[in-house]
Structure 1
Amino acid sequence: MKNFNVGEHYVLGADFGSDSVRVVIIDARDGNVVGSYVSYYQRWKKGLYCNKQLNQFRQHPLDYIESLTEAVNNAVKEADKKFNNVSEKIRGICIDTTGSTPCLCDKDGMPLAMSEKFKDDPDAMFILWKDHTSVKEADEINRVSHSNDVDYTQYLGGVYSTEWFWAKTLHVIRNNKAVKEAVYTVLEHCDWITAVLCGNTNPSTIKRSRCAAGHKCMWHKSWGGYPPRSFFDKFDSKLGDIRDSLGTETYSTETIEGYLTKEWADKLGLNEGILVCVGAYDAHIGAVGGLVDVGVLVKSIGTSTCDVTIGNLPNGEEKLVKGICGQVDSSVVEGYIGYEAGQSAYGDYYSWFRSLLMWPYKNILKTSEEETEMFEKKILPLLEEEASKIKTTEDFPVAVDWINGRRTPFANQNLKASIFGMSLGVDAPIFMKMLLESTAYGARAIIECFEDGGIEIKKVMAIGGVARKSVLGMQILADVTNRDIYVTKGDQAPAIGAAVFAAKAYGLYDSVFEAQNALSAGIDRVHKPIEENVKVYEILYKKYKELANFSEKLINNN
């Protein structure tokens, strides 16, 4: 660590989640959060441009710009009230976003939705990670790639997902002629927002994220960047044009993207010229905030999960891990391979159950918005409290967690959730516990997928809102996996991870690991497996796998 005092240098981390952006300002010496603010996307909050029945989830770029502006200004105000001139001492900015969240853009690198012509066209907006409108396109990409001389999914676990860059892009250009004619390039959210702050969205000079490009866009150094144009032309020549607009270089998050422009400095209440790091995905940067290391799996648990670990670069040929969401050199920490997996629904599974229970309340009682919201907030905590009193037995009902498809092992968004063992004795608390167990079974399947591929998991860290709030959920996770589950303090690991990269980029620390140890919030609690429960869950997990296999065969045959 460099020789500097508390209060001399601050860094700013911005974490763009599915519903909001959280900004934190952190003392770069001790990790103390001196200012923070959460701003919710207003158009998204109203459900605009989305269609749940079609699995269409789009976000307007103005939501990102307006929310970031509000969040930074309020975080700065809070910090400046506590300490003197914090805003004058912010040295670096780093941003993470959800992903894959691409947007079709023009020759200037601006989202088409920023133009008058496309301002209300969902296809011209950012396509959120959980948008599953491109299942057919993903299936086609897999068929072509698997029959190709070179399988370009080999570093992506062997399966290309509908949640990723090329499938989403192909779906839009096939179904929207006007957007197809107007698009020049496609930018991930993490690349676009950082470029905007630096005043350089030129597609030929923008620094694209290694994290995004490697895990979702088929970039790999072994074939000199992206797959050749001839591969993309098999689907649509326009896809080939877009491929050519991406360049060949990608950059780790430790790289400086550029410097804050005067225009944005004025908007955000900051100094012009502050360095801005290359962006990355929330779970990967969050893994750094959650103390990722070789053999340490960081589970970012929220609406879905993203499970990230790192490994040493091999001396010889890189071992391929089948079924995960990619293995990419320097996607998490420079000089290490980043490995990613995840579940397409975690908190979303519980939210679905809550919405189910709320239907009569909203449609029959018709209470005020405030009363409805207050009641809604109480349901899941109350159900979890009651569920904690229930002893799980070998004849307990079992659910499969694929309510939003399966991300890992082997991505397949065609899959659906299923339940076995229901009876008239199953009430709401039992159902809630069954769902908590279901997501834990899915988490165990991911750990087994890693280890089957030769990636040793020595320790499991849990970060995110669900991990912090659901004590029973994390205990069940410990019992099902028969592992200690370490839950970090606070729910700001992605923003803290972003601050780690900003501090490293400015030169305040010699390595990411040094900055990580200094700024991380640390451990809040540890859930240890309960031997009696472990034995029961061994039996139920076998039932889970049998039900999962049966369900997958049934769905695939339809």
Structure 2
Amino acid sequence: MVKEAADLVIGIDFGTDSVRAILIDINGNVRGVSTSEYPRWKQGLYCNPSQNQFRQHPLDYLESMETAVSEIVSDLSVEEKSLVKGMSIDTTGSTPVAVTQKGEPLALTEGFQENPNAMFILWKDHTAIEEAGEINALASAWPETNYTKYVGGIYSSEWFWAKLLHISRMDENVRDAAYSWAEHCDWITFELTGGTDVASMKRSRCAAGHKAMWHEEFDGLPSEEFLSSLDPLLSGLRERLYRTTETSDQAAGSLSSKWAEKWSLNTDITIGVGAFDAHMGAVGGEIKPYYLSRVMGTSTCDMLVVPHNDIDGKLIRGICGQVDGSVIPGLMGLEAGQSAFGDVYAWFKDILQWPVKHGLEDIDFLNSSEKKRLQTHLDNHTIQILSDAASKLEPSPDDEIALDWLNGRRTPDADQHLKAAFEGLNLATDAPHMFKALVEATCFGAKAIVERFESEGIEIDGVIGLGGVAKKSPYVMQTLANVLDMPIKIVRSDETCAMGAAMFAATAAGLFPTVEKAMTSMGDGFEKTYHPDKQKTDIYKELYSRYQQFGEVIEARAHIENDETKAQL
């Protein structure tokens, strides 16, 4: 008996460096995976790290998406292509862009092609710190309601309103040409469905609720009075944005003829409403209530889902929001995270390799091919060498301590002014000891997040690990289990964000009644569990206490310096 072919769906994950696409059937059988890097981003174009400016050109997204999806569908027969029923996307965020009335990013229009301010402002762009401070000050003094109360009470420079206000102030040309603004996850979905009027753009509940202060209590976004009081430049913008939002189990439309032709697919493919990568990644990692889903890569996004009756009336301080249906429709989605995680380790690797990278060109006993091979070897193995050495070091209460705020602090209590630091260094401190301190610092940052949830009355029963660091760094994961003193389950799939997008695509296309049913059918399970080493957990409690004390000192000094700078201005 011939087994009937199963319906197929496509999940597309727009990460920081590349786009990944997965083709999977509704029984969880992966038919194809492809990754395509962003060419302009790879060259470092439009970015200025010294000013915390990180911008991405929309052509990077379009070209890389076209390549990635083309690769996973190229070997399908005509009959198999007819089985593709749904497609959904996830993106980084908050990554907004100024758009025309037609919903087109300004960087795709005449005169703005090379203007970084007309491009997508990447999640890690911290050029809007001052604007975030103004939003917090106004929100705390606003007489009617505090519009930040559902986003942890602190608005971040990484988020929607701070970024668009900063660009509006600094670039008059962009401000005058911008009819509206859109998140990356909303625009890509709009593009795939052939949208031509920004007023018809489906807006993600996930993006709007966590980053733009959208809430039903406010009748949508913050009031016109609040926004115009923040800056008259924002007057009238609210009406050109949106009032309603959609959860990602809903359909945004069908695949446009333009994109169907590019991929030789049918136009009856349902396109689901988009969302942020960590939120869809949590679904791809089979999140369940009270389990903290940690997407661990360059930064982390930590997701929780809880039933409404367990959070009714609670406002969780200092996190990245609590939004109904932002992860799983019908449950409250809670978001936290760290501004730097894998980036901390990559920074230290670059510090150690600096003399090699800059000294190789002067070495005459190696040819160019040998130099390249040596550099590639170091790039691929330095962190593993450090991890192996650090894993042999037994923790002690007197060890070196580091702070993980190399890119500021996201949660708890967002503060992008904060900087990292070391304490307790001496002449015996070597690279493995410093790396150990940095790994512990990132794990202590995670513990601070867990403690905040628990102190606010939200229980955490365990941790689910996903993302590059979770899959590739046993030393980091074991240290995290020791610091948190709880088990960490590692998701088997390498493509959890794209997998989550595929699960939502299947749900939006009507192949499953709920995304929970899609998870059950399509999920890949877990490959291993890290259990805490009880001989080390007590020592890490002492080191964590020192981390907290050291952090208080550095934070107090940072606030003094920031106040002095403001006074001088």
State the TM-score, normalized to the length of structure 1.
0.96
| Structure 2 letter corresponding to 1:327 | Q
Aligned counterpart for 1:65 among listed residues 62, 68, 84: 62
The offset of 1:5, in angstroms, is 6.3
Residue 492 in structure 1 maps to residue 495 in structure 2: yes
- The 5 Å alignment of 1:305-384 reads 305-314=300-309, 317-366=312-361, 368-369=371-372, 371-384=374-387
Alignment partner, residue 75 of structure 1: 72
Q: Give the share of equivalent positions with the same residue, in percent.
A: 45
Deviation at 1:99, TM superposition (A): 0.2
Q: Which one is further off, 117-126 or 501-510? A: 501-510
User: Does the alignment pair 1:475 with 2:486?
Assistant: no
The aligned counterpart of 1:90 is 84
- 1:104 is aligned to 2:98: yes
Deviation, 1:70, is 0.3
Q: Give the C-alpha shift of residue 235 in structure 1.
A: 2.6
Residues 511 and 395 of structure 1, relative CA distance in 2, 3 Å threshold: same
Provide the C-alpha distance between the structure 1 equivalents of 2:311 and 2:456, rounded to a whole number of angstroms: 17
- 1:207 is aligned, of 181, 202, 208, to 202
Specify the SS of the correspondent of 2:230: coil
Give, in angstroms, the shift of residue 6 of structure 1: 6.5
Residue number in structure 1 paired with 2:507: 504
Show the counterpart of 1:22.
20
Q: Is the 8 A contact 1:286 1:493 kept in 2?
A: yes
Q: Which residue of 1 aligns with 2:125?
A: 131
For the 8 Å contact 2:390–2:433, the answer to whether it is kept is: yes
* Superposed counterparts of 1:141-540, under 5 Å: 141-149=135-143, 150-314=145-309, 317-366=312-361, 368-369=371-372, 371-540=374-543
3-state DSSP of counterpart to 1:557: helix
Shift of residue 425 of structure 1?
Answer: 1.2
Alpha-carbon distance, 1:75 to partner = 1.3
Partner SS for 2:74: helix
Bigger drift between 296-305 and 369-378 goes to 369-378
Task: Supply the RMSD in Å over aligned alpha carbons.
Answer: 1.5
CA 1:197–1:328 in 2, change beyond 3 Å: closer, same or farther? same
Contact 1:262 1:273 in 2 (8 A): no
Say whether the 8 Å CA contact 2:125–2:158 is kept in structure 1: yes
SS in 1 for 2:236: helix
- Following superposition, the deviation at residue 371 of structure 1 comes to 4.1
**Over residues 160-204 of structure 1, what are the superposed CA-to-partner deviations in whole Å (9 max), with x where a residue is unaligned?**
000000000000010001111111100000000010010114221
Q: Verify the 8 A CA contact 2:482 2:540 in the aligned structure 1.
A: yes
1:409-446 CA-partner distances (Å, limit 9, x unpaired): 01000001111111111111121111111100000000
Work out whether residues 468 and 490 of structure 1, in 8 Å CA contact, stay in contact via their aligned partners in 2: no
Q: Deviations over 1:325-354 (max 9, x none)?
A: 000111111111110000000000001111
Q: Which runs of 5+ in 2 are unaligned?
A: 362-367, 562-569
Q: Deviations over 1:37-58 (max 9, x none)?
A: 0000000000000000000000
Cα 1:467–1:201 change in 2 (3 A) is farther
2: CA distance, partners of 1:369 / 1:98: 32
Equivalents in 2 of 1:107, 1:369: separation in Å? 48
Between the aligned partners of 2:153 and 2:225, the Cα distance in structure 1 is 20
- CA distance in 1: counterparts of 2:156 and 2:533, whole angstroms: 36
Is the contact between residue 406 and residue 415 of structure 1 (CA under 8 Å) also seen in structure 2? yes
Q: Does structure 2 conserve the Cα–Cα contact (< 8 Å) formed by 1:192 and 1:201?
A: no
Q: 2:33 aligns with which of 23, 32, 36?
A: 36
Tell me the secondary structure at the aligned position of residue 221 of structure 2.
Answer: coil
Query: Contact 1:6/1:27 (CA < 8 Å) preserved in 2?
Result: no
| CA deviation vs aligned residue, 1:496-524 (integer Å, no higher than 9, x gap) | 11111111122222221111122112111
Cα distance in 1 for residues equivalent to 2:283 and 2:555: 34
CA shift in 2, pair 1:201/1:473, >3 Å = farther
Inter-partner Cα distance in structure 2 for 1:36 and 1:369: 29
What amino acid maps onto 2:107 in structure 1?
A
Query: Does structure 1 residue 557 correspond to structure 2 residue 560?
Result: yes
Secondary structure, aligned partner of 2:335? strand
Matched residue, 1:115: 109
CA contact (8 A) 1:56 1:132 kept: yes
CA distance in 1, matches of 2:309, 2:215: 16
Which amino acid in 2 is paired with 1:403?
Answer: L
What SS is found at the alignment partner of 2:527? strand
C-alpha displacement of 1:375: 2.1
Can you list the C-alpha shifts for 1:194-218, whole angstroms capped at 9, x where unaligned?
1001011422111100000000001
- The whole-number CA distance in structure 1 between the counterparts of 2:126 and 2:354 is 25
Q: Once the 2 structures are TM-superposed, how far is the Cα of residue 84 of structure 1 from its aligned partner?
A: 8.1
The CA distance in 2 between the partners of 1:283 and 1:393, in whole Å, is 34
| CA deviation after TM superposition for structure 1 residue 314, in Å | 3.3
Give 2:292's aligned amino acid. L
Aligned pair count? 551
Q: How far apart, CA to CA, are the structure 1 residues paired with 2:181 and 2:386? A: 43
Q: Which amino acid aligns with 2:497?
A: P
Q: In 2 relative to 1, CA 349–6 (structure 1 residues): closer, same or farther, beyond 3 Å?
A: farther
- For 2:64 and 2:455, the matched residues in 1 are separated by 42
From the superposition, tell whether residues 197 and 472 of structure 1 become closer, same or farther in structure 2 (CA, over 3 Å).
Answer: same
- Asked if the contact 1:257/1:276 (under 8 Å) is kept, the reply is yes
Task: Give the distance between the partners of 1:359 and 1:538, measured in 2 at CA.
Answer: 34
Q: Could you tell me which amino acid in structure 2 is paired with residue 388 of structure 1?
A: S
Distance in 2, Cα, partners of 1:315 & 1:38: 40
In the TM superposition, residue 116 of structure 1 has moved relative to its aligned partner by: 2.3
Contact 2:85 2:268 in 1 (8 A): no
Any conservation in 1 of the 2:138–2:230 contact (CA below 8 Å)? no
Letter in 2 for 1:34: R
Comparing 474-483 with 449-458, greater Cα deviation is found at: 449-458
Tell me if the contact between 2:179 and 2:240 (Cα under 8 Å) persists in the aligned partners. yes
SS at match of 2:134: helix
Task: State the alpha-carbon separation in 1 of the partners of residues 551 and 4 from structure 2.
Answer: 53
Distance in structure 1 (CA, Å) of the matches to 2:114 and 2:36: 22
- CA distance in 1: counterparts of 2:235 and 2:490, whole angstroms: 44
CA pair 84-483 structure 1, distance change in 2 beyond 3 A: farther
Stretch deviating more after TM superposition (196-205 or 311-320): 311-320
